[in-house]
Each structure stands twice: as C-alpha cells, then as structure tokens.
Structure 1
Amino acid sequence: MTTFGYIRTSTRDQNADLQRDALKAAGIPANRLYADEGVSGTLASRPRLDALLDRLEDGDEVVAWKLDRMGRNTRNVLDLIEQITQKGATFRSLTEGITTTGPMGKAMLTIMSAFAQLERDTMLERTRAGLDAAKAKGRVGGRPSKVDDKKLAKIRSLVASNDHTRAEIADMVKISPATLYRVLADL
C-alpha cells in the first residue's frame, strides 16, 4: 500500500504551502505529492491528477488536504472518487476527516460534497447579487482607469497633431502603450 497526496490551487497566485505542509505532516513524502497549481477544479482533466490516477494500484490511498481540492461540484468529486475506488484505492480528506474505507465514509463523502457545492453556489449567488446592486447604484467594479479626462484630452491632442508615435504619446502621458491602445480603441 502506497499513500499519495494531491494538491490543487485554482490560480497561479494561490500558495500551495498550506496543503503541502498538511500532507507532509500526515506522513506523505514530497516524492509522492502530485500538484496541479493554477488549475481549475471544474476541469475534468488535470495533468498531475491524471498521472496520479494512472499510477494507482489496489490498496493505495489518495489523500487531499480538503475535499474541495478534488473538484468544484458534487458530480465531479464523486466521479473522481469512483475512479479512485475502481482502481482498488481509497480516498481520505484531512480537513473533513473523511475516508472511503467503509460505507459510512462513502455516505459522508457524498453529503460533504453536496454541502461544499451548496456553499460555493450560495457564495457565487451572493457575489452576483452584490455586483448587480452596485451596478444599479452606478458603481462599477474593477480597477480605476489610469486615464482621467485631462490625460484623455492630451492624448486626443497629441494624436491629432500626428507629430508623435504611439509609444512617444504613451510615454508623454505616463501610461503603457497597451493602455494607450485600449483608450484609442474606445475613442
């Protein structure tokens, strides 16, 4: 029996150290950790997870820091756990303390997956409602524009004069060429 760890972060900005440390504390050596970093849990195919699944044999165990690292919705998680069990391996979640070694663990896994999806769906619904409410009040999310009315007027004047390249204009108004091209596209 060999125990393998699986780590997943959704974006490259996220840090996998917490997951890595928890799996190490659970006794899983670094050479048996499979990490998909910057890979969405909604994707059915994840390169390192696929490699882990290919390697599994009867009696092996797959350990994840948390159930939601395996997938983003109940169906995806349950399908993945089914693939693991079809190979004769088991799954264990450290945070939730769930294992598929017995029928009660499998039942709890199904329930926890459903609650995880409910939590995610509720969070998305609240986020959308908040964005819609802000939009209705005239507030728009996102980063403030680097080009105010004064810079826009200067850009228009410099472009109209035809005396400068786009790169020179961008440098003169202290914005990147990419920002300048976005501004010009909106004119």
Structure 2
Amino acid sequence: MFIRGYLRASTDDQNADRARDQLTAFANERGMAIASWYVENASGTTVDRPELRRLLKDTQPGDILLIEAIDRLSRLPGDEWQMLRNEIESKGLRIVALDLPTSHAAMQPTLGDDFTARMLDAINRMMLDMMAAIARKDYEQRRQRQAQGILKAQQEGRYKGRTKDTDKRRRIAELLAAGFSVRKTAEHAQVSTYTVHNVKKHGI
C-alpha cells in the first residue's frame, strides 16, 4: 500500500504544509508511513494543479490519496468533481480524508469479504460526493460575501484591489530566463509553483 500525501492551500500567504504533521500522525497510528508528498498553493476550483496532476501521473492501482479534508482536494463544480473522481477511481486510487471517517477503512490491510468491501466503497463514494458539494457551496458563499464586501468598499471609495509583488515576480522571471525549472524557481523565490506558472503565463 503506497500512501501519497496531498497538501493544498489556496494562496501564497497560506501555509499549504501546515497539515503535514496531522497526516503523518494519522498514518503512523496505523503502522504506516507516507511515501510521497505533493504540496502546492493553488485553487481547489480547478483540476489544473501541477502537484495534483503529478500525483495522478505517479499513482498505481491500490495507492492511497491521503488528505486533511475533502475541500483540500476539491472545491469544483459538480460535473468537474465527477470527472476528477472518475479519473481517480479509474487509476485504482483510494481517497482517505481525515474529516471523513467512512474513508479510513481503506487504510486497513483488508476490508473483509467482497460484499463488505463493496458496501464500504458505495458509502464512501456517497459521502465523498456530499462533502465535495458542501465544499463547493462554501466556496460560492464566500465568493458572494467577498463580492458584496468589495462592492460596498467601492461605493464608499475604500477599495484599492490586490497589488502584485512586482519585485518577487521579477525575480521569478529572472530565474525562469536563466533556465531554472518551475519547481526550482519556486524554491529559490520562496513562492508556490502556482505563482511561477502565473508569471510564466502572464509575465510580471
């Protein structure tokens, strides 16, 4: 059983690595170890995430995708979540989330007889869909509140919008121009791979 830990935060000023100790402890309590880590700062509203894509490329049937919570994996619209879940299932990858107890059985050496295993899979699938839908609704509600706050600030003349860190983006551009890979650039500039891809695509 190969366990792949996936950690995600939405923005550069959030610590995507903060749940590493929790996932490590969870695996250790079951006499297991996390063999590979995938860490990134990227929105959960898209499947086009470099580390998630790398995880899916690396995975083999029977592997475990270990996450802190379902919203770390997805804040996708319903149809896009179904596509991602189908891709995960087609690769024989099993999702285990700390906030979803029904998924923890996948970390057991055996799920019992075939009927029990199929029942657990069906229950887990239903719960995954429900929690993914909740994660998406939470995202949409937060976006709506944010938009309302921005509109109010604009009406009161207080809204200035987000500003880019030009110096940091210039440093990223220099590293890329020097031939550094996206990952090495992110390490040297101390930013996420998402930001590096953003500079690579949109410039400074």
Which band: TM-score by shorter chain? 0.5 to 0.7
Deviation at 1:113?
1.1
Which amino acid is 2:71 matched to?
D
1:103 aligns to 2:122 (yes or no): yes
State the match for 2:86 in structure 1: 82
Note the residue ranges of structure 2 that are not aligned, 5 or more in a row.
107-119, 163-204
| Native 8 Å contact 2:7 2:16 kept in 1 | yes
Higher RCO structure (Cα 8 Å, ≥6 apart): 2
Number of aligned residues:
142
1:113 aligns to 2:117 (yes or no): no
Structure index of larger Rg = 1
1:83 partner SS: helix
Which amino acid is 1:72 matched to?
R
Cα distance, 1:46–1:138 mapped onto 2, change above 3 Å: closer
Deviation at 1:98?
4.8
State the match for 1:16 in structure 2: 16
State the match for 2:151 in structure 1: 132
Cα distance, 1:10–1:42 mapped onto 2, change above 3 Å: same
2:132 partner SS: helix
1:48 partner SS: helix
Q: TM-score, normalised by structure 1?
A: 0.66
Cα distance, 1:52–1:139 mapped onto 2, change above 3 Å: closer
Deviation at 1:86?
0.8
| Native 8 Å contact 2:9 2:41 kept in 1 | yes
1:102 partner SS: helix
Identity of aligned residues (%): 33
Distance 1:98 1:78 in 2: 19
Distance 2:157 2:11 in 1: 30
State the match for 1:60 in structure 2: 63
Describe the superposition over 1:56-111 as per-residue Cα deviations: whole angstroms up to 9, x where unpaired. 22222111111111122243333222211111221111123352851111111111
Cα distance, 1:98–1:12 mapped onto 2, change above 3 Å: farther
| Native 8 Å contact 2:74 2:135 kept in 1 | no
The CA RMSD measured in Å over matched residues stands at 2.3
Distance 2:93 2:42 in 1: 24
Deviation at 1:38?
2.4
Cα distance, 1:83–1:98 mapped onto 2, change above 3 Å: farther
Deviation at 1:31?
4.1
Q: TM-score, normalised by structure 2?
A: 0.61
